Structure 1
Amino acid sequence: MIGCLVVSLAVSGGVRGTGRVQLVKVVVLFAVMAGAAFLVLDRFGWNPDRLLGAAAAGSGLGDAFLGPGVQYGSGPMAVANRFGQLVTVALAVCCLPHVTMRVLGAPGGRATRTAMRWAVGQLIAISALLLVVGLGAAAVLGGPALSGADPTGSISLLLVTQALSPGGLLVSAVFSAVFLTALTTVADVTLAAAASVARDLLPRRPRPGTERVPHQDRHARWAAAAVGAVTVGLSLPAAGWNLLVLSTLAMTLAASALAPVLVYTFLWRGFTRRGLLWSVYGASALTFALLAVSPLFSGSPSAAFPGLDFHATALVNPGLVTIPAGFALGWLGSVLDRGSGAACGYADLAAAVTSDAPVR
């Protein structure tokens, strides 16, 4: 039912409709997170030292809880996983398909920069509130209780709000915020995929007698319905997977396959179509291969297939390997594809970005 609702929003609302729902989501999410952070800080007398000390004690890890990368343990592989996560998240947040779709859909360069400033400001504010709520969850409930309820930590927000506000009003608001966030995010991803299908795969010339109907818009709506149906079908067998598996896959793909394309497109005159294809397909294949043999897919209780063990590496965040590979493949493919006229396309794009002309 949720999948059908997501597809309906993508097909009927389009970019404008989902954008309005996004605005509502931001307001609800910010209000819920601010309310939860207020209750956490009030619980500890608005004293950050008390909150940090209680979180460290409740986590069961002591002072190590306040250090970076404690979830990865120690050793060289832990360092690689930690830095891989930092680099992947930093690049992926800016390059996710639904994010770039919104940014590139702005009417001009000035509007794009304004939208990015608002987006970064909201991200910083919500991340700060989430940090406070996360510390409150460890301090109020304790690490063993959180792990016992859900080893992945996905429901920590719900558990801590239920403990701080037993009446249920805040818990209901959290459910609403989580639902709106999932609804708008998946709808935007569906629209981004549908736009690619309609632009690149479907015919662009309208059939006789349909010239009055915007055929590309009609194709995009049909593509959104088809992509949404396939996505809902694929989500059913993956419903019991650890969300960390899916989020790591999405983030690594965005950082490894899309970030090199965007960077080269805007900053390198010699970037060509062959370089784009090599970067996208090569980095994507490498990402799937490394994640398939990682502990995220097998060999651990929280893996996608906990009953099997075919992992061959302890690298959980392969971004340190796949991101340089994506850039290298894009460079190599472009170097081997000289004489394609890429400089002219770069000049047109640079002129549009630095002015108020629409980015196409």
Structure 2
Amino acid sequence: MTANLAETLTLLLIEDDDGDAFLVEELLKQAVAPPKIFRARSLEEARAKLTPQIQCVLVDLSLPDASRLEALEAVLAVAPHTAVLVLTGLNDVQTALSAVQSGAQDYLVKGDVDARLLARSITYAMERKRADVAQIKLMQAELTAKENARLESALLPGPLLRGAPIEHMTRYLPGSGGTLAGDFFDTVQTPDGSVHLVIGDVCGHGPDEAALGVALRIAWRTLVLAGQTEATLLRTLDTLLRAERKAPEIFTTLCTVTITPDLRHAKMRVVGHPPPVLVRDGVVEVVAGTPSGPPLGIFHDVEWPVIEVPLGAEWSMMLYTDGLIEAVVSEPGRLLGVDGLLDLVREHGVIDLDRLITHVGTLSDDLAVIMVQKGRA
């Protein structure tokens, strides 16, 4: 009777007995589409032949250099995404159960196998392996999504404002690559009524960079709540960055702002970061004198001078990461840039985050934005 392998497969038969190997090959020749069979007589020889083109492995449990489950475990270690079917003379129920529990898709005893059973077992083994791999990938994706959500929540917390008469809005959009970045922001009002803001960006993408961003954001909030809002704060963040980063080339840009309790003046330090946008008395501009120094983690013994910014009675301020100005806009390959950002704000007349983001095209990097504004009393 014709076996039911309907497509030409590439198999690896790991069998040291020539007679048994010949019988397996003869059984598989009866398939509708006989497979291409490579043979290995030992585990050592099999390792060299376990290439990506192998779709299924038939392995004996009695090899000259491996016995029982040792051979199976070695094959699974070398080819974890390939279907493995045990074909052996050991008619042992416990061994069969252990083989399947260890990762084999099926267990066949040589003396009980005919062409149809062997072909069907190979087909089913491959389907089960595909299902197992798909399930593993789904679980990994779900775990990654949960971890990303947890990190994003820690990177982008809610503001600690105690009734300050200002409007506060934030936005965050992930980059098109789908990999978590280290953009972070925070807002804290201290007991004296001052409002403190930070926005930062750890260079690179991935969970390590995101975790570093979380550490810097929490450290910033802790230092502000402890009353450290001047140059000591940046020096401490720089020390923390150097201690926690995975590689010496990793740096962080950020912008810190302290708004006075009367909400009419601000002190800024722009640490290698894109300049904030201000709207005062209908005039849209970036903060003059930025940046006030290089990013964190580049040079030792750096001082970041304070930039004094008069705000007046009515104003809006936007802090953002470079994902915004590096976004591709309507023309192919044209980046928004700082000038393009200013033009959009001028076009709207105010800093409208939702309208602004609708004009942003493809994001090559994550985008984080804080907007605070004070209207006339």
| Band the TM-score falls in, shorter-chain normalisation | under 0.3
TM-score (structure 1 length as normaliser):
0.25
Say which structure is richer in strand. 2
Say which structure is richer in helix. 1
TM-score (structure 2 length as normaliser):
0.24
Higher relative contact order (CA 8 A, sep 6+): 1
Larger Rg: 2
